[in-house]
Structure 1
Amino acid sequence: MSGQIIGLHDWFETPPGRYLLAWEQAQFDQAVADIFGYHALQLGLSEVQGLRANRMPHRWLALSDPAQAGAPALWTDFSALPFPANSLDLVVLPHTLELSPDPHATLREVERVLVPEGRVVICGLNPASLWGMRQRRAHLYRGLGFGELFLPEAGDFIGYRRMRDWLRLLSFEVESGRFGVYRPAVRSEAWLERCRWFDAAGERWWPIFGAVYFLVAVKRVRGLRLLSADWRRAASRASAPVPIAGKMHRGRDNGGQLEEGSGS
């Protein structure tokens, strides 16, 4: 691959691409398995089956580029989704924002279509990682007339803290976040296998320097109060008749027996 610019979908067929996809697929399967509702949507990157472990009755894959692989349910502009506001329970974004020409608009549109307490699941490449540093160095060398990129040229890195700031501005609350893929930026399957120990070591000793980050965030609406499953029983208890104290009194007759009389 020397001197060759490889496309995103071809890169996912390489050893480091398969390694990345395997980690991300496991994270998506774990994250979405217990998110419930009726409507779920994946935006982009058909190589990742972000909704396969979810049990919602309506799940769709949407793509924006007809050149992409896969059989989507719809083609759409991610910054203008064909869904009404507050209509989706879950949206997954596998590298969608970093590949989007306008990631801010895409994230605002995701916030619009999610129901209150709906969830968005995001993964993205981490610029503060061995892979990110090698990519920046390769860009520098290419500017000097030599060298090749390790990652595809498509898309721009969005840092983990920057992503959290964007979510916070849109009233999302991050429920969980983690990093993964700690092996060095090598191309061969053999070297990736020799460096398996980097995964355990990186997770323990340098967790924020994984090549990819994974976030789950929930849409919060100020002033919204969710009713519990007992709200009907609580309402019926509140409307039940209550005896009025003092309407009846009890006294003793001359024989020492209790008697009832009017309180008037």
Structure 2
Amino acid sequence: MTRDAAIVELADWLQTPPGRYLLDWEQQRLDAAVVDLFGFHALQLGLPELEALRANRMPHRWLAQDALGQQIAGTTVLRCDFDALPFESNSLDLIMLPHALELSRDPHQTLREVERVLRPEGRVVINGFNPASLWGLRQNLGRLTGGPRRPLFMPRTGEFIGYWRLRDWLRLLGFEVEAAQFGAYRPPLKSERWLERWSWIERIGSRWWPVLGAVYFVMATKKVHGMRLVGLAKRSKRAAAPQTAPAVATQHRQTTTHR
């Protein structure tokens, strides 16, 4: 399956009962996460079905897509490659990646581009399918036992990226994870009625097996550790300043004796 076909399949799957269930959970978490994030420039990469920036109040907000897809009224849509973003380095305050890494041609390069265009202390928010969940297990079993034409429970997106693997990628790029949350603990069911019947498990799952939700949400901050050298330089100047005082005092005493 081509990448464009995978994007279309994901958009169609999000209109199914399990897709809407995940979309609702992610939309609520994203709205709560970005409402109090301030700055000037924010960017969402892909998945226009999820309005990741609708609750944010930054004056400049863009939706970027690198393939044909749905457009949202009133939203500026950019056409660009995610592994070569058309922004200057250190220019954006917030970047949203709703399942963008799973659909990216090169998720490592996409993350490197995100790190490049984010300003120091800028934030990135990532949503992804959790392979260590009942949904991920059913998807993997379907890939092993079914043929290429047999429909899977979830869309045939790229490789699911595990939470701990993603944390390692972020750490290597100098990001510091601020918050992480898992959600959608109901079994992988296709019927809306049965999904509603299992709604009681959400509270139990978040308490007893929190890392086994069908999707995860991660917020990380770009850290530039080299900027601390400015503080070291200031302390060095303060330490060197008292050395000049004894010389001035000695010269004054010598002048007085001469008179």
Cα offsets for 1:101-138 (capped at 9, x unmatched) = 10000000000000000000001000000000000111
User: Are 1:78 and 2:79 matched, yes or no?
Assistant: no
Partner of 2:53: 51
Structure 1 pair 146/91, CA: closer, same or farther in 2 (3 Å)? closer
Normalising by structure 2, we get a TM-score of: 0.82
Shift of 1:147: 5.4
Shift of 1:69: 1.3
Could you say what secondary structure the match of 1:128 adopts? coil
User: Are 1:212 and 2:194 matched, yes or no?
Assistant: no
Structure 2 letter corresponding to 1:109? E
Partner of 1:36: 38
Partner of 2:11: 9
Partner of 1:189: 192
Distance in 2, Cα, partners of 1:35 & 1:117: 11
Structure 2 letter corresponding to 1:69? Q
Cα offsets for 1:17-69 (capped at 9, x unmatched) = 00000000011101111111100000000011100111100000000102x11
Distance in 1, Cα, partners of 2:10 & 2:226: 43
Structure 1 letter corresponding to 2:89? A
Could you say what secondary structure the match of 2:202 adopts? helix
Partner of 2:66: 64
Select the residue among 148, 154, 162 that pairs with 1:159. Answer: 162
Structure 2 letter corresponding to 1:210? G
Q: Is there any run of 5+ residues in structure 1 with no aligned partner, and where?
A: 228-264
Aligned length: 223
Distance in 1, Cα, partners of 2:17 & 2:196: 10
Structure 2 letter corresponding to 1:208? V
Distance in 1, Cα, partners of 2:201 & 2:216: 16
Could you say what secondary structure the match of 1:224 adopts? helix
User: Are 1:138 and 2:137 matched, yes or no?
Assistant: no
Could you say what secondary structure the match of 1:137 adopts? helix
- Paired residues of 2:90 and 2:118 also in contact (CA < 8 A): yes
Distance in 2, Cα, partners of 1:189 & 1:215: 27
Partner of 1:119: 123
- Paired residues of 1:141 and 1:147 also in contact (CA < 8 A): no
Shift of 1:146: 8.6
Structure 2 letter corresponding to 1:212? V
Could you say what secondary structure the match of 1:199 adopts? helix
Structure 2 letter corresponding to 1:118? G
Distance in 2, Cα, partners of 1:31 & 1:146: 38
- Paired residues of 2:89 and 2:118 also in contact (CA < 8 A): yes
Partner of 2:153: 150
Distance in 1, Cα, partners of 2:116 & 2:226: 17
Could you say what secondary structure the match of 1:223 adopts? helix
**Pair member with larger Rg:** 1
Distance in 2, Cα, partners of 1:147 & 1:191: 23
- Paired residues of 2:42 and 2:92 also in contact (CA < 8 A): yes
Structure 1 letter corresponding to 2:201? F
Distance in 2, Cα, partners of 1:24 & 1:70: 19
Distance in 1, Cα, partners of 2:163 & 2:157: 19
- Paired residues of 2:71 and 2:77 also in contact (CA < 8 A): no
User: Are 1:169 and 2:203 matched, yes or no?
Assistant: no
Shift of 1:148: 3.2
Distance in 2, Cα, partners of 1:149 & 1:53: 33
Structure 1 segments of 4+ aligned residues over 6 angstroms from their partners: none
Select the residue among 128, 132, 149 that pairs with 1:128. Answer: 132
Structure 1 pair 85/197, CA: closer, same or farther in 2 (3 Å)? same
Structure 2 letter corresponding to 1:26? Q
Structure 1 letter corresponding to 2:43? L
